Protein backbone atom coordinates (compact mmCIF):
# COMPACT_ATOMS: atom_id res chain seq x y z
CA UNK A 1 0.00 0.00 0.00
CA UNK A 2 1.14 3.51 -0.68
CA UNK A 3 0.79 6.29 1.77
CA UNK A 4 -0.97 9.29 0.25
CA UNK A 5 0.95 11.65 2.56
CA UNK A 6 4.28 10.51 1.18
CA UNK A 7 3.11 11.21 -2.36
CA UNK A 8 4.37 14.58 -3.53
CA UNK A 9 2.16 16.64 -5.80
CA UNK A 10 3.93 17.25 -9.10
CA UNK A 11 1.93 20.39 -9.84
CA UNK A 12 3.01 22.27 -6.70
CA UNK A 13 6.47 23.82 -6.68
CA UNK A 14 8.56 23.86 -3.58
CA UNK A 15 9.36 27.43 -2.38
CA UNK A 16 13.08 26.73 -2.58
CA UNK A 17 12.76 25.70 -6.20
CA UNK A 18 10.88 28.90 -6.98
CA UNK A 19 13.65 30.96 -5.37
CA UNK A 20 16.27 29.03 -7.37
CA UNK A 21 14.35 29.71 -10.56
CA UNK A 22 14.27 33.44 -9.82
CA UNK A 23 18.01 33.45 -9.11
CA UNK A 24 18.73 31.65 -12.36
CA UNK A 25 16.50 34.09 -14.24
CA UNK A 26 18.28 37.03 -12.60
CA UNK A 27 21.69 35.64 -13.56
CA UNK A 28 20.57 35.07 -17.13
CA UNK A 29 19.24 38.63 -17.15
CA UNK A 30 22.54 40.04 -15.93
CA UNK A 31 24.34 37.99 -18.56
CA UNK A 32 22.09 39.44 -21.26
CA UNK A 33 22.72 42.96 -19.97
CA UNK A 34 26.47 42.33 -20.11
CA UNK A 35 26.08 40.91 -23.62
CA UNK A 36 24.32 44.10 -24.65
CA UNK A 37 27.31 46.08 -23.39
CA UNK A 38 29.72 43.93 -25.39
CA UNK A 39 27.59 44.33 -28.50
CA UNK A 40 27.35 48.08 -27.92
CA UNK A 41 31.12 48.50 -27.76
CA UNK A 42 31.51 46.19 -30.77
CA UNK A 43 29.64 48.78 -32.81
CA UNK A 44 32.72 51.01 -32.66
CA UNK A 45 34.83 48.37 -34.46
CA UNK A 46 32.48 47.98 -37.42
CA UNK A 47 33.89 50.92 -39.47
CA UNK A 48 37.29 49.24 -39.48
CA UNK A 49 36.08 45.90 -40.89
CA UNK A 50 36.95 45.03 -44.50
CA UNK A 51 33.38 45.23 -45.85
CA UNK A 52 31.38 47.40 -48.17
CA UNK A 53 29.52 50.36 -46.75
CA UNK A 54 26.19 48.59 -47.20
CA UNK A 55 27.42 45.51 -45.36
CA UNK A 56 28.76 47.65 -42.53
CA UNK A 57 25.43 49.47 -42.26
CA UNK A 58 23.51 46.19 -42.18
CA UNK A 59 25.85 44.74 -39.55
CA UNK A 60 25.62 47.90 -37.43
CA UNK A 61 21.83 47.80 -37.65
CA UNK A 62 21.76 44.14 -36.65
CA UNK A 63 24.10 44.84 -33.72
CA UNK A 64 21.95 47.75 -32.59
CA UNK A 65 18.81 45.61 -32.67
CA UNK A 66 20.71 42.88 -30.81
CA UNK A 67 21.78 45.40 -28.16
CA UNK A 68 18.20 46.50 -27.62
CA UNK A 69 16.82 42.97 -27.46
CA UNK A 70 19.55 41.81 -25.06
CA UNK A 71 19.17 44.86 -22.79
CA UNK A 72 15.39 44.83 -22.48
CA UNK A 73 15.02 41.07 -22.13
CA UNK A 74 17.87 41.05 -19.60
CA UNK A 75 16.25 43.91 -17.69
CA UNK A 76 12.96 42.02 -17.61
CA UNK A 77 14.63 38.87 -16.29
CA UNK A 78 16.95 40.58 -13.80
CA UNK A 79 14.23 42.70 -12.22
CA UNK A 80 13.90 46.38 -11.40
CA UNK A 81 16.21 46.37 -8.37
CA UNK A 82 19.09 44.87 -10.32
CA UNK A 83 18.61 47.26 -13.22
CA UNK A 84 18.50 50.31 -10.96
CA UNK A 85 21.68 49.14 -9.22
CA UNK A 86 23.46 48.64 -12.55
CA UNK A 87 22.32 51.96 -14.01
CA UNK A 88 23.29 53.82 -10.82
CA UNK A 89 26.91 52.89 -11.49
CA UNK A 90 26.84 54.91 -14.71
CA UNK A 91 24.85 57.93 -13.58
CA UNK A 92 26.66 61.13 -12.85
CA UNK A 93 26.71 61.90 -9.20
CA UNK A 94 25.89 65.41 -8.06
CA UNK A 95 28.79 67.23 -6.53
CA UNK A 96 28.31 68.41 -3.01
CA UNK A 97 29.52 71.80 -1.97
CA UNK A 98 32.32 71.51 0.50
CA UNK A 99 32.95 74.68 2.49
DSSP string, 10-56: SSSPPHHHHHHHHHHHHHHHHHHHHHHHHHHHHGGGGGGSSS-HHHH
Domain count, the chain: 1
Which residue range forms the structural domain that includes residue 63?
A: 19-88
Does a structural domain hold residue 61?
Answer: yes
> Is this model's pTM higher than 0.85 or not?
no
**pLDDT attached to residue 83:** 81
Does a structural domain hold residue 71?
Answer: yes
Does a structural domain hold residue 49?
Answer: yes
Does a structural domain hold residue 65?
Answer: yes
The mean predicted confidence, pLDDT, of the chain is 83
48-88 residue pLDDT tens: 999 999 999 999 999 999 999 999 999 999 988 888 887 78
Tell me which of 22-26, 32-36, 75-79, 89-93 is least confident: 89-93
Amino acid sequence: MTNSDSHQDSTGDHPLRERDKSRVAARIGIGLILLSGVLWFSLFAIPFLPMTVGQKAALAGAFFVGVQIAWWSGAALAGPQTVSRLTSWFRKRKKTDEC
